[in-house]
């Protein structure tokens, strides 16, 4: 009869586990985490309501690229992390050393690994759920994801420093330096290649979120690219409860500045000089799509209302509640020639789900700040 006991390292007999395999996958995982961290910092900063130093308005596609790379590097990290954890998890059952100094080092290392694994799993899991536009939690996604990212990157730095000698030793060696497996079967090289393959499939499966021509192979890309006027919709007019206000004959965009309020009906806006700009919507959830927008320059509207250049303005939606009903434009955005009060999308009047009668569209700006159903501008 066998008795239940804690397994020991020697109980794990797969010869596929080796420092040479773990180092290679670990480096790829480290790079994807690094890229994900940097692009994530940028995304967090770009979403601040009114950052001290505004994000530049050019290039117009900047946020589209950084956020696309953020979601892709996070997605590629999922298979890398799973395989990496598999290659090292027997080490969890290593007997801790006896002498007190070594024991302390051992415990410190274990603590950093616990923090790294827990934070990595949290980041990838919440990130994946977020790109499906599903928020089954009460905390603020952005601030929590951001805070946990610092735990991950801090414990990753400790982990890399501790493991550097092992990696240095293992990397120059051939992964299969002890010959092919007796009796055939998967080689370590085969495992490493399969892992690259899995990461590649994960990339292709989601890249269609932002790369149009990959859409047909991107089975996991959550946004199909169709929606009214060829553009996905995040929050519909019905969900936002704005349908009546947006279609009301009494609609007017109010612009207030220095105690004075001007009102612009849709006809007023249409009688001003019309511009067309090709600008992307780049959602933090990872999808993005470029479109041709027509409408009035925000700067022209501000001029007509007597708002001087160099003024930070805040725009407000007809939507009465909702996290994205209001956004701030630093002066550099409000004064940029490409920033529009958009009335037209792809040559047709905006559909109500894209923000009819008027929405904001500005270059290099996270989707959450491209406010739909504009009701009021305050300066």
Interface with ligand MTE (CB under 6 A): 231-235, 240, 281, 283, 317, 319, 322, 324-325, 354-355, 367-368, 370-373
Which residues between 269 and 298 bind Mo ion (CB under 5 A)?
283
**Cβ 346 to Mo ion, closest distance in Å?**
19
CA–CA distances in Å: residue 251 to residues 265, 284, 358: 6, 30, 10
**Cβ 46 to ligand MTE, closest distance in Å?**
13
C-beta closer to ligand MTE: residue 29 or 255: 255
Partner from Mo ion, ligand MTE, none contacting 167, C-beta within 5 to 8 A by type = none
Distance CA 40, CA 205 (A): 21
C-beta closer to Mo ion: residue 339 or 371: 371
CA–CA distances in Å: residue 357 to residues 11, 189, 235, 249, 256: 67, 58, 15, 11, 19
Partner from ligand MTE, Mo ion, none contacting 373, C-beta within 5 to 8 A by type = ligand MTE
C-beta closer to Mo ion: residue 209 or 234: 234
**Contact 374/355 with Cβ under 8 angstroms?**
yes
Bridge pairing between strands 348-349 and 326-329: unpaired
Partner from Mo ion, ligand MTE, none contacting 240, C-beta within 5 to 8 A by type = ligand MTE
CA–CA distances in Å: residue 295 to residues 2, 21, 148, 357: 77, 56, 41, 11
- Please give, one letter per residue, the 3-state secondary structure of 247-292: HCCCCCEEEEECCEEEEECHHHHHCCCCEEEEEEEECCCCCEEEEE
**Cβ 135 to ligand MTE, closest distance in Å?**
12
- Nearest by Cα to 282 from 374, 214, 368, 372: 368
**Cβ 301 to ligand MTE, closest distance in Å?**
18
Partner from Mo ion, ligand MTE, none contacting 297, C-beta within 5 to 8 A by type = none
**Cβ 209 to ligand MTE, closest distance in Å?**
12
Task: Write out the residues near Mo ion by the rule CB under 5 A.
Answer: 234, 283, 367-368
């Amino acid at each position: 009869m066998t008795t239940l006991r804690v397994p020991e390292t020697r109980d794990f007999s797969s010869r596929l586990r080796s420092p040479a395999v773990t180092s290679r996958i670990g480096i790829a995982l480290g790079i994807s985490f690094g890229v994900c961290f940097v692009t994530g910092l940028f995304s967090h900063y770009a979403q601040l309501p009114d950052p001290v130093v505004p994000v530049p308005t050019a290039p117009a596609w900047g946020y589209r690229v950084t956020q696309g790379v953020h979601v892709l590097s996070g997605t590629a990290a999922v298979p890398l992390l799973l395989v990496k954890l598999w290659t090292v998890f027997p080490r969890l059952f290593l007997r801790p050393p006896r002498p007190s100094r070594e024991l302390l080092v051992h415990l410190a290392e274990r603590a950093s690994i616990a923090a790294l694994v827990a934070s990595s799993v949290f980041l990838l899991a919440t990130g994946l759920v977020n790109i499906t536009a599903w928020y089954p939690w009460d905390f603020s996604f952005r601030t929590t994801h951001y805070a946990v990212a610092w735990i991950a990157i801090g414990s990753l730095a400790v982990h890399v420093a501790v493991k550097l000698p092992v990696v240095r030793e293992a990397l120059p060696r051939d992964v299969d330096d002890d010959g092919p497996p007796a009796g055939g079967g998967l080689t370590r090289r085969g495992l490493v290649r399969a892992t690259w393959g899995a990461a590649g499939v994960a990339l292709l499966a989601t890249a269609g979120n932002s790369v149009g021509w990959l859409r047909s192979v991107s089975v996991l890309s959550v946004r199909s690219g169709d929606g009214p006027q060829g553009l996905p919709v995040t929050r519909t007019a019905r969900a936002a409860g704005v349908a009546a206000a947006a279609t009301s004959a009494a609609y007017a965009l109010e612009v207030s500045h220095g105690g004075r309020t001007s009102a612009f009906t849709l006809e007023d806006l249409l009688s001003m000089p019309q511009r067309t700009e090709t600008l992307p919507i780049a959602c933090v959830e990872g999808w993005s799509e470029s479109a041709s927008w027509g409408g009035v320059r925000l700067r022209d509207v501000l001029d007509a209302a007597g708002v001087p250049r160099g003024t930070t303005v805040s725009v407000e939606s007809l939507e009465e509640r909702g996290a994205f009903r209001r956004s701030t434009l630093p002066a550099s955005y409000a004064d940029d020639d490409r920033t529009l009060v958009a009335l037209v999308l792809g040559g047709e009047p905006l559909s109500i789900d894209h923000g009819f009668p008027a929405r904001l569209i500005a270059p290099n700006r996270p989707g959450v700040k491209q406010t739909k159903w504009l009701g009021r501008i305050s300066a």
